[in-house]
Amino acid sequence: MKLNVDERWDLIDKISKEVVSYGKYEHTLKDALGELSVKPLAGIPIAITVLYGFWSVFSSFAGTLWTDGFMVKIFDEHFLPWMQAHFPGEGGWLYYIVVGDPAADNCFEAFGVLTSGLFVAIGVVLGAILIFYLMLTLLEDVGYMPRLAVLIDTILHKIGLHGYAIVPTILSLGCNVPAITATRILETRKQRFIMMTLLAIFIPCGAQLGIMEEVIPDTMGVVVLYLIIGYFIFGFVLNKIIPGKSPEILIDVPPYQMPTKRNVGRKMWMRTSGFLKVAVPFVLLGCMIVNVLYLTGVMDQLANALGPLLMGWFGVPKETVGPLIAAFLRKDLAVAQLSAIEMTDYQMITSVVLVSIYFPCVATFAMMLKEGWKELLGSLVVLAVVVFLYGGLVHLIGILAGVA
Amino acid sequence: MAKSYGIGSIYFGILGVVTLAFGIADLIVTIGGDSFTWSILEIPGDMFRGGWGGLIILFAGLFYLSGIKNLSEIHQLSKVVLGSILIWIIAGTDIFTMITESIPGGEEGGWFNTLEDFFGTYAPPYAPAIFLLPFSLVVIYYVYKRK
């Protein structure tokens, strides 16, 4: 049987009359709360509260309980002395690489592969990553993330992105590697390039945040503020100079719902195991390479060669060259190394900002390469300019404020 | 029904004013720089708990006050619920901090805290959000009442 257009519409009417029931939809409390969280007047206080809760739980668990509560004791009071006493060949190069400084009384200063390396990976980073991913998963599964995307859409349009760019940005606060993959949710090459570059430069990963919380608890806020300001300034500039489109988004905002244990458990396992597979080998490798560079005298030569630039332009001691090299392997490791260098508070702030905005860690680098070598090359050019300009600017601000 | 919502409006109005006052006090103390302790109440003076936390308590007070008129209407009730949620988050994180501090033995102690020090961590003084917490739970009655 063949129907003409009118007959088809009649048939549709008939079917819809039989299967669709009409009535007045009453808003539920969940609907009303959902609406409030996307309206700027109520949504911004909610977003501030969520970030407050996120950070408070993160620092209490990762800092107070995991690292300071148990891991410092395990590593500094038991594991380090045991390694120093039992590892053969004290004073030899192998001892130096594996155990580190025989006179060190804590794992931050020892800098051996199996002392500082394991302490950073397990004693600091694991706790930070576990709680970070738990909180992030809960926010996703409750349904808050799409609302945050809607809320922040207008602001992110100023830097050529849209609301959903908040997903890779927040993911990046855990680890840059999955965040680079997540940039694929952005529609155009321009957006993906801006996002990838900003992530690689301005977003510190969870591991780095955990170490910063441990090493510079009092001045960490200033470092984060510098990074946030840089994120928006350079995002704005990139949006102006890079050709291409930044389209609008149309997203489906799901209702608020209770997260299920199974989903949370699966996501946590997937993310944490993925992170550990990537992070732990690089932390250990980083310790090893830096120690070898010290042993062979390469580090001293580099420090002398780059000293004038580091001290004159950035205002940091020339010894920071070691952490800057380590930062290519792991930024958390680099911040841990910085803690062993004598410097003023503001030099420490500048150094941590430099480590953050300097070259992305090698895992991120590999991920960016996978997304396209042209994008990677472009990001590296931007990065070089940003390090030079922004690093100098941070120093200048310090001079003007009388603290540098 | 209407009478109970009337009582609810008065209750959350008073709670809103008290919450707002605590938020302002938090901010003033933070600007001063030092924490302020009075009997079992402690207003933190650090930028994070006093500044950010105070700002959130202030928002909670404003949500309460903006929701009290015509409380039986779902959108108005949702503002009051939101005020309570903000207080639950602040108080919840304060309690979580106490829990994480109470378990380990500290630098000089053993692996775990002594029973005395464990309970000592939960002793007053408390931050304003902890005092507001039990009063904010009343909103649960109104949520269930509506259901």
Say yes or no: B103 contacts chain A, CB-CB below 8 A. Answer: yes
How much of chain A, in percent, has pLDDT values that exceed 90? 36
pLDDT digits (tens, 9 = 90+) for A147-191: 998 998 888 988 989 888 888 898 888 778 778 888 888 888 899
Chain B positions touching A33 (Cβ under 8 A) are 78, 81-82
Map residue A174 onto helix, strand or coil: coil
Closest Cα in chain B, distance from residue A46 (Å): 8
**Average pLDDT of the segment spanning B42-55:** 90
Three-state secondary structure of A26-61: CCCHHHHHHHHCCCHHHHHHHHHHHHHHHHHHHHHH
**What is the band of B1 on the pLDDT scale with cuts at 50, 70, 90?**
low
pLDDT of residue A210: 84
In a domain, B105, yes or no: yes
In a domain, B29, yes or no: yes
Task: Identify whether the C-beta of residue A205 lies closer than 8 Å to the C-beta of residue A179.
Answer: no
Does residue A363 carry a pLDDT above 60?
yes
Instruction: State the Cα–Cα distance between residues A99 and A84, nearest whole angstrom.
Output: 7
In a domain, B48, yes or no: yes
Query: By CB neighbour count within 10 A (0-12 exposed, 13-18 middle, 19+ buried), where does B7 fall?
Result: exposed
Domain count, chain B: 1
Chain A positions touching B51 (Cβ under 8 A) are none
Q: What is the mean pLDDT of chain A?
A: 87
Closest Cα in chain B, distance from residue A120 (Å): 19
Domain extent for B112: 2-142
Instruction: Indicate the residue of A31, A46, A57 with minimum beta-carbon distance to B93.
Output: A57
In a domain, B127, yes or no: yes
In a domain, B116, yes or no: yes
Alpha helices per DSSP H over B53-138: 53-67, 74-102, 115-121, 128-136
Q: Which two tokens stand for residue B20?
A: 């707002």
Closest Cα in chain B, distance from residue A47 (Å): 10
Evaluated on CA atoms A245, A246, A252, A257, the torsion sign reads: positive
In a domain, B59, yes or no: yes
Say yes or no: B59 contacts chain A, CB-CB below 8 A. Answer: yes
pLDDT digits (tens, 9 = 90+) for A215-233: 888 888 899 999 999 999 9
pLDDT digits (tens, 9 = 90+) for A244-281: 888 887 778 888 999 999 999 999 998 888 778 877 78
Alpha-carbon distances, residue A379 vs A183, A358, A403 (angstroms):
14, 12, 32
pLDDT digits (tens, 9 = 90+) for A332-361: 878 888 888 888 999 999 999 998 888 777
Chain A CA closest to residue B146: A29
In a domain, B17, yes or no: yes
Chain A CA closest to residue B92: A53
Chain A positions touching B59 (Cβ under 8 A) are 45, 48-49
What is the interface pTM, i.e. ipTM, of the complex? 0.95
Subunit contact A35:B103, Cβ cutoff 8 A? no
In a domain, B147, yes or no: no
